[in-house]
Amino acid sequence: MPDSESREDPAQQETDVERRQRRNQFLRELAEARELRDRVQPRRAKAARLRHAMRMRSFRW
C-alpha cells in the first residue's frame, strides 16, 4: 500500500484547478444524463418530482 508521503508528492498530486475541472465535467454529464432519462421516462420523472415536492413540504427548517 502506498504511504501517505507519496500522496503528498506535488508532482503526482493533482492541482485544485484540475480537480475542479474534472468535478464540473462530471456534474455536467450527470445533469445531461438526468435530462435524457426524464425525456425518455416522463411518467417516472413526474413521480420523482412529486415525491421530491412532498419531501420538501414535510421538511422542517
The per-residue pLDDT string of the chain (61 residues; one tens digit each, 9 = 90 and over) reads 555 555 555 555 779 999 999 999 999 999 999 999 889 998 998 999 999 999 999 877 6
What local confidence, expressed as pLDDT, does residue 60 receive? 73
Contact 16, 10 (CB under 8 A): no
Per-residue burial over 45-57, b if 16 or more Cβ lie within 10 Å, else e, is eeeeeeeeeeeee
What local confidence, expressed as pLDDT, does residue 23 receive? 96
Identify the DSSP state of 60.
-
What local confidence, expressed as pLDDT, does residue 61 receive? 64
